[in-house]
Structure 1
Amino acid sequence: MRELALLVATRKGAWIYRGDAGRREWSADGPHFLGHIIHHLVLDPRDRRTLLAAAKTGHLGPTIFRSTDLGRTWSEARRPPAFPKAAEGEMGRAVDHTFWLTPGHASEPGVWYAGTSPQALFRSEDGGETWEGVAGFNDAPAYRDRAGDAQDGTPDGPKLHSILVDPRDAAHLYLGMSGGGVHESRDAGLSWAPLIDGLEVVAGFDASQWAFHDPHCIALCPSNPDRLYQQNHCGIYRIDRPSNRWHRIGRAMPPGVGDIGFPIVVHPRDDRTAWVFPMDGTDVWPRTSPDGKPAAYVTRDGGETWQRQDTGVPPAEAWWTVYRQAMASDTCDPVGLYFGTASGSLWASADEGERWTPLADNLPPIFAVETAILD
């Protein structure tokens, strides 16, 4: 196997952890961009050399950094994601930060997508050097008038995330908005339609209105692109296309734990297997592990049952959580799983979650963890 890497984005910089073929020894490369907020760090799987980092810096503001030599050197994008300048007398929009990065389809080398706060979708066709807004989303009145409300209650602002590209069709895209629901395009972003049937909302809101939905993370199964899983503000869901209806599969989670959390990860070869990392979503939403006892939960039957996986993690008094981008899997056999915590610890399992071991501690709060295969 080629070298495995973990790409760790934090509140105060980024780290690259390189592992051996057995995933037993890891070495740290970093920090990169020390002191800057890094929301996402992603390797292009098409060339295995280009890294993009979504950064919010003190002097450059929101921007994208690029490396074509696996992080040895970096340069800023010539034109990072930004809204067009408003006409005189009109209220303009400004990108606060880029939150999510997704490489494009295998047939479109150089294409990337980015999701921002406030909620907007951007596309690059030159490997992240320059970015343009996806007009079919950003300028559509239905989205422009209702997406990106800075007062929607989302910590650090509303976010466009979970940009998914159907591996069979470059024109078939999904995205999530917190808040604002799940949306689908079948024409490369020219037009979009909500995909919210079956999803629940907070009591007192109208579930028929996409603006009231809050998907936390959406994952498409590589082995079966017609199956998607979702961790939502109001539960865990699965959808099997061509159906347009989501089914709440989190009801089978233990009642004392519940089915509220941020991340969801799917098995690279088995569409019946997925992992979540629940948090306490009761009352005032403390956003900690339930009862201070963190654990991953796995389903191996499409959500009919769930099993707790906590061997190796603190058994009690661990009051942290895992953010929506901060859990990932590799493609090894058995699958490796990784998560980073809001308190700055990085954890790994080389046996699909059965046993966890710490890889790093005392990092800044971890915003995102991605895996990559390096040349």
Structure 2
Amino acid sequence: MSAQNTKPDHLVLLVATRKGAWLYHGDAARQSWRVDGPHFLGHIINHLVLDPRDGRTLLAAAKAGHLGPTIFRSTDLGQSWQEAAKPPAFGPAANGLAARSVDHTFWLAPGHAAEPGVWYAGTSPQGLFRSTDGGMNWAPFSCINDDPQYRQWFGTVQDGTPDGPKLHSIIVDPHDAQHLYFAMSGGGVHESRDGGQSFVPLVDGMDVVEGFDPTDISFHDPHCVRLCPSNPDRLYQQNHCGIYRLDRPGSIWVRIGRNLPTEVGDIGFPLVLHPRDDRTAWVFPMDGTEVWPRTSPGGRPAVYATRDGGSSWQRHDAGLPASQAWWTVKRQAMTADRQDSIGLYFGTTSGELWHSLDEGRQWSCLARHLPEIYAVETAYPG
């Protein structure tokens, strides 16, 4: 199946930040932009997603000081919002395990096209949740939240990841609603072929930090996993230990990031795939050496593109700062549109929103002085 290109009259960038959310409305040429925001000023917004199935249901994963973690829903592009009646929350302790509480919802994913109203959510601490009514009521999904083996793989809330470990990269196979993936920042990639009744690890071929045991799933740290829109049998992964590709029905990840320049490395967080070409992907490397500065390598930010499935990579930095730019891009903060010439967009930890209209070759800054950007998504209102 091939994703169709389009020339929409209305493209919206959904920008989630540490202190609120902004919507940038673009014209068909992507030359003129109108800003709408802030929404939820002062609230942490981890993810903002428009349902592609109806083009109007917009969900925001929020953490408000007085409300705690919750989900907000809008059906009019943010003109009005309604809080979820029952946001994601862990149930009572089971199987002799310690009770847990959701700190924040981190990832939102619309369900299969044949299941309108179904959404999935990943949280911190790591948990998987599902809504069947468009995001108003959420319940724990699958067995993993209270499975003793998964709880062991989850680790603790003190493990490694800033702001706590995350369940993320929730993927629904567009060919099969029963075929699901998710990833955990500490706990690996997992797959279900029975609609979430069971999951199995999918980590063969992956490296872990030197000195740790790769057979222990808890040491696997995927940063972002994406399924090719034009070829659901191909997945790419940006990992704590490099960039990988997996071609199904195979089950062994192949490291393709070693072809990046050694002085840059293949460590980063975001990963973006071309909507119509399964050989093309973009990444944003960061400095992952020694103490993990989490900045652009050498203070010289750049996007790297592959157009041959990872056999080679090209540096794209035209228009980006040439030096002394010590920011990076988080795992949800880079995305693509689906127009004839693919537009790419990313938000930085220093609050800048950048865009390219020629698949990354030339960049310009769309907005400055926002709060730290957590996520950027493209949306096509219906």
> Is the structural similarity TM-score above 0.5?
yes
Q: CA deviation at 1:141?
A: 2.1
Matches for 1:296-311 after TM superposition, within 5 Å: 296-311=303-318
Q: Which residue, out of 211, 219, 222, partners 1:215?
A: 222
Q: Percent identity?
A: 71
Q: Which residue, out of 55, 78, 82, partners 1:71?
A: 78
Provide the C-alpha distance between the structure 2 equivalents of 1:3 and 1:374, rounded to a whole number of angstroms: 7
Q: Are 1:104 and 2:98 matched, yes or no?
A: no
Q: Are 1:234 and 2:241 matched, yes or no?
A: yes
User: 2:371 — aligned with what?
Assistant: 364
One-letter code of the match for 2:276? R
The CA deviation string for residues 218-246 of structure 1, in whole angstroms up to 9 with x for no partner, is 01001000000000000000000000000
Q: CA deviation at 1:152?
A: 1.4
One-letter code of the match for 2:132? E
- What is the TM-score with the length of structure 2 in the denominator? 0.96
User: 2:121 — aligned with what?
Assistant: 114
Q: CA deviation at 1:74?
A: 0.2
Provide the C-alpha distance between the structure 2 equivalents of 1:94 and 1:139, rounded to a whole number of angstroms: 12
Q: CA deviation at 1:139?
A: 2.4
The CA deviation string for residues 237-296 of structure 1, in whole angstroms up to 9 with x for no partner, is 000000000000000000110000000000000000000000000010000000000000
User: 1:255 — aligned with what?
Assistant: 262
User: 1:127 — aligned with what?
Assistant: 134
Q: Are 1:42 and 2:49 matched, yes or no?
A: yes
User: 2:334 — aligned with what?
Assistant: 327
Matched-pair contact (CA < 8 Å) for 2:258–2:266: yes
Matched-pair contact (CA < 8 Å) for 1:119–1:148: no
Matched-pair contact (CA < 8 Å) for 1:8–1:41: yes
Matched-pair contact (CA < 8 Å) for 1:148–1:159: no
The CA deviation string for residues 93-146 of structure 1, in whole angstroms up to 9 with x for no partner, is 100000000000000000000000000000000000000101322122211233
User: 2:158 — aligned with what?
Assistant: 151
Q: Which residue, out of 275, 281, 288, partners 1:274?
A: 281
One-letter code of the match for 1:298? A
Q: CA deviation at 1:188?
A: 1.1
Q: Are 1:344 and 2:351 matched, yes or no?
A: yes
User: 1:201 — aligned with what?
Assistant: 208
The count of residues paired between Structure 1 and Structure 2 equals 374
Structure 2 vs 1, CA of residues 90 and 296 (structure 1 numbering), >3 Å: closer, same or farther? closer
Greater mean deviation of Cα atoms: 139-148 or 346-355: 139-148
Provide the C-alpha distance between the structure 2 equivalents of 1:199 and 1:289, rounded to a whole number of angstroms: 24
User: 1:80 — aligned with what?
Assistant: 87
Matched-pair contact (CA < 8 Å) for 1:7–1:369: yes
Provide the C-alpha distance between the structure 1 equivalents of 2:206 and 2:152, rounded to a whole number of angstroms: 22
Q: Which residue, out of 35, 42, 45, partners 1:28?
A: 35
Matched-pair contact (CA < 8 Å) for 2:155–2:218: no
Q: Are 1:2 and 2:9 matched, yes or no?
A: yes
Matched-pair contact (CA < 8 Å) for 1:137–1:189: no
Provide the C-alpha distance between the structure 1 equivalents of 2:313 and 2:245, rounded to a whole number of angstroms: 14
Q: Root-mean-square deviation (CA), in Å?
A: 1.1
The CA deviation string for residues 171-207 of structure 1, in whole angstroms up to 9 with x for no partner, is 1000110011000001111100000000000001111
Where 1:146 maps in the other structure, the secondary structure is helix
Matched-pair contact (CA < 8 Å) for 1:2–1:374: no
Where 2:380 maps in the other structure, the secondary structure is strand
5+ residue gaps in structure 2?
Answer: 1-7
Q: CA deviation at 1:90?
A: 7.3
Q: CA deviation at 1:10?
A: 0.1
Provide the C-alpha distance between the structure 1 equivalents of 2:375 and 2:291, rounded to a whole number of angstroms: 24
Q: Are 1:166 and 2:173 matched, yes or no?
A: yes
- What is the TM-score with the length of structure 1 in the denominator? 0.98
Structure 1 residue ranges (4+ consecutive) displaced by more than 3 angstroms after TM superposition: none
Provide the C-alpha distance between the structure 2 equivalents of 1:146 and 1:349, rounded to a whole number of angstroms: 39
Where 1:110 maps in the other structure, the secondary structure is coil
Q: Which residue, out of 8, 19, 23, partners 1:16?
A: 23
Provide the C-alpha distance between the structure 1 equivalents of 2:89 and 2:107, rounded to a whole number of angstroms: 14
Provide the C-alpha distance between the structure 2 equivalents of 1:196 and 1:210, rounded to a whole number of angstroms: 8
User: 1:184 — aligned with what?
Assistant: 191
